[in-house]
Structure 1
Amino acid sequence: MSERFDFAIVGAGIAGASLAAGLAPHGRVALIEAEDRPGYHSTGRSAAFWTESYGGPRVQPLTTASRAFLDQHGLLTERGALTLARTDEAEGLAAFVREFSALGVRVETLGRAALERRLPGLRSEWQLGAYEPDCCDIDVAGLHQLWLAEGKRLGTELLCRARVIGARHGADGWTIALADGRTLHARVLVNAAGAWADLVAQAAGVAPLGMKPLRRTVAQLRMDRTVPSTLPLTLGFDGSFYFKPEGGKLWLSPHDETPSQPCDVAAEELDVALAIERFKVVLNWPIAALEHKWAGLRTFAPDRLPVYGFDPTARDFFWFAGQGGFGIQTAPAAAELALGLLLDEPRGTVDPEPYSPARFR
């Protein structure tokens, strides 16, 4: 027995859920998820924050354009972001401030005294910083559930434990085979499979784009002192760490990017130890205990920009992948951009051209 849909979306994380909610008023939608529940992988493991410089200047338009939606739905909590630099990084930090200021991002240079006020216990080697006051924490679960609920209300059919093993395009669209023996038919096949995006493409007979899943580690520490709730998201200008407060604890990462196969990835002891050592170089806070550790996969296209659009070599195959570590903070604008392409009615303010899969063909 087979079912017919207008749109079949592979992957029910934040990307797939956002598109399902947007497409549901325009046709019958199947949201296909290989796991027992949506958001099990990257979406459910995010230490998500919204900060306009994260991901670089070519991702910034998507981040900035997402702010209004996140504000409207009460999904942001003020945090602030502080990028730390050593004296020998002064020139690079100044260029960072100039570049993002020119894009309309609020960012200012701070000296040592201002750094100490925001980060008590800061070690002496950190003399400079760039502060972004508009950085916020994102309620990731709330955002994901908002879109899942909207999709369900509008008739989206969520299929869990449904792994795609093959797909072929014919005269009436896509025929999609699932591992449990079911078959679906859909006019358009949307690839929102995250770390599995290239594998889904290959299952559909579409050439992969060279997506690279990279492991990112996060550790949760209980400190032997009060962690101020006002502590900013703190990042190293050299990309070697970030940390932030969360529920009275401290979340920190060595900002690792270890190549991985698509899988249920777990934190490695070496990466956790590296995160702790890098934190000790920044603040002189004693650590009481390591309470929790986890890892997620951040998947990038070869040029580290997301991929949104119809594949120019495969009819009715739409890429919505490669969001790296900025997929949550850019999700509202990315969904608007993709919906405009899928429905052939341009939406939003972000130019889709830099993110087209045609750039790899």
Structure 2
Amino acid sequence: MTKVFEYAVIGAGIAGASVAAELAGDAPVVLVEMESHPGYHTTGRSAAMFAPGYGPQPVRALTRASADFFCSPPEGFSEVDLLSPRDVIMVARSDQTDALDDLIAELASEAAVERIDAQDLRDRHPLFRAGYAEAGMLDRGGSEIDVNALHQGYLNQFRQRNGQLYTKFEISDLTFDGEVWHLTAGTEVIRAAKVINAAGAWADEVGQKAGAERIGLVPMRRTALTVEAPEGVDIDVLPLVVDIDEEFYMKPEAGRLLISPANEDPMAPCDAQPEELDIAFCIDRIERAFDIQVRRIKTKWAGLRSFVPDKSPVVGFSVKAPHFFWLAGQGGYGIQTAPALARCATALISGHPVPQDILKEDLDLSSLSPKRLVTSAK
């Protein structure tokens, strides 16, 4: 292949697909994916919510900055709504109320959240076990995200802008010759002026191939399962419930209940599979909190959520490898922040100012830069 692309994006999950679509509006872009289809790993296994009060401050800022896109995507982007409203409740036992009150105070200036008592919790979610919860935080700004519609929308936009997608392209060598990058997979070689590393759990490995700094990325397995809902309860109107210390979450899912122990088990990048112990923990925590009995598991799966130590995304050019851009470490927030993160990254990559509608959400770009991780490691 003799063509030189302006940009090569590695990884066709939501991060790679969204930034590739944005970049393709102005220059030749190639998107490479090691699997047979995009989104096989984390994106395709996500039970994503749009939750403005979820995550560290930079994530919350990016989530708010993504709201307009989710509510009003570009014409033709999706045939269905990207968001379906669903309240979010962070719940606390009596021994967790300090953490709950701290979060409410932190979010007071950002989101329309309110503290609700045990009776209000049970009124809003009749499956709560009596005596379990002391209080909760209600966030009426939550919604479910149609992950597939979002991902496919970006991929379609990328194709419409003449972007080229290569699947089954597992990079064995990544070198810079002083002018362009050479991405090698078997006998195939792609050349590009700039590389965007959106390789998810494999991002640190890709960075090492490029001679970039390590960012301390840790893939963490999270397990989820769906179970039958109790009879006589209209689960479709129930909120998403998340334990304040993230020991579990539960939400309606296509007539069933999706439950998770909200585990974060460090592991090497892989095709993550659920562990029986995590499933047991999940069922135990759910049955303690809710008046339900899990008799049969309908489906079970696991995915990798990859974090750096401060749990904020890594967005910016490498301090070591020339023309090599990090777009990694989105953790469990990659779906809800994708629109703003893609636009922010595109501006930084192309040397343009970051859009003001993103910056006005109190986003400090230094909180995303890979430089912060290199400095903190010294």
Q: Secondary structure at the match of 2:30?
A: strand
Equivalence for 1:151:
158
- TM-superposed CA distance for 1:239, in Å, is 1.5
Aligned letter for 2:373? F
Q: Is the 8 A contact 2:4 2:191 kept in 1?
A: yes
Q: Is the 8 A contact 1:5 1:186 kept in 2?
A: yes
- TM-superposed CA distance for 1:238, in Å, is 1.9
Pairing of 1:171-186 with structure 2 (within 5 A): 171-178=178-185, 180-186=186-192
Equivalence for 1:220:
226
Q: Is the 8 A contact 2:13 2:42 kept in 1?
A: yes
- TM-superposed CA distance for 1:227, in Å, is 4.8
Distance 1:54 1:354 in 2: 17
Q: Secondary structure at the match of 1:155?
A: coil
Is 2:162 aligned against 1:162? no
Partner deviation per Cα, 1:132-176 (whole Å, 9 max, x = no partner): 011100000000000000000111100000011111112321111
Change (3 A) 1:234 1:333: same
Partner deviation per Cα, 1:26-83 (whole Å, 9 max, x = no partner): 2111100000000000000001001012112232101111111011133000000001
Is 2:206 aligned against 1:200? yes
Distance 1:27 1:216 in 2: 37
Distance 2:235 2:195 in 1: 47
Count of residues paired in the alignment:
359
Equivalence for 1:267:
274
Distance 1:247 1:121 in 2: 18
Q: Secondary structure at the match of 1:63?
A: helix
Distance 1:112 1:133 in 2: 18
Write out the 4+ residue segments of structure 1 that deviate beyond 3 Å after TM superposition.
none
For residue 95 of structure 1, the aligned residue among 102, 106, 116 is 102
TM-score relative to the length of structure 2: 0.93
Equivalence for 1:3:
3
Q: Is the 8 A contact 1:265 1:296 kept in 2?
A: yes
Can you give the 5+ residue segments of structure 2 that lack an aligned partner in the other structure? Answer: 74-80
Aligned letter for 1:24? A
Q: Is the 8 A contact 1:119 1:231 kept in 2?
A: yes
Distance 2:149 2:43 in 1: 11
Q: Secondary structure at the match of 1:215?
A: strand
Is 2:244 aligned against 1:237? yes
Equivalence for 2:128:
122
Aligned letter for 1:217? T
Aligned letter for 2:104? V
Distance 1:47 1:284 in 2: 23
Equivalence for 1:321:
328
Equivalence for 2:16:
16
Partner deviation per Cα, 1:228-270 (whole Å, 9 max, x = no partner): 1011010111210001001110001101001111111101111
For residue 368 of structure 2, the aligned residue among 342, 355, 359 is 355
* Cα-Cα RMSD: 1.2
Distance 2:195 2:213 in 1: 14
Q: Is the 8 A contact 2:87 2:140 kept in 1?
A: yes
Percent of paired sites with the same residue: 39
Is 2:341 aligned against 1:334? yes
- TM-superposed CA distance for 1:204, in Å, is 1.4
Aligned letter for 2:305? R
Distance 2:127 2:87 in 1: 18
Is 2:41 aligned against 1:41? yes
- TM-superposed CA distance for 1:314, in Å, is 1.5
Aligned letter for 1:112? A
Can you give the 5+ residue segments of structure 1 that lack an aligned partner in the other structure? Answer: none
Which structure has greater strand proportion?
1
More divergent stretch after superposition (114-123 vs 150-159): 114-123
Q: Is the 8 A contact 1:46 1:296 kept in 2?
A: yes
Distance 2:294 2:309 in 1: 38
- TM-superposed CA distance for 1:288, in Å, is 4.2
Partner deviation per Cα, 1:260-286 (whole Å, 9 max, x = no partner): 111111011111111111000111123
Distance 1:224 1:113 in 2: 21
Aligned letter for 1:192? A
More divergent stretch after superposition (81-90 vs 27-36): 81-90
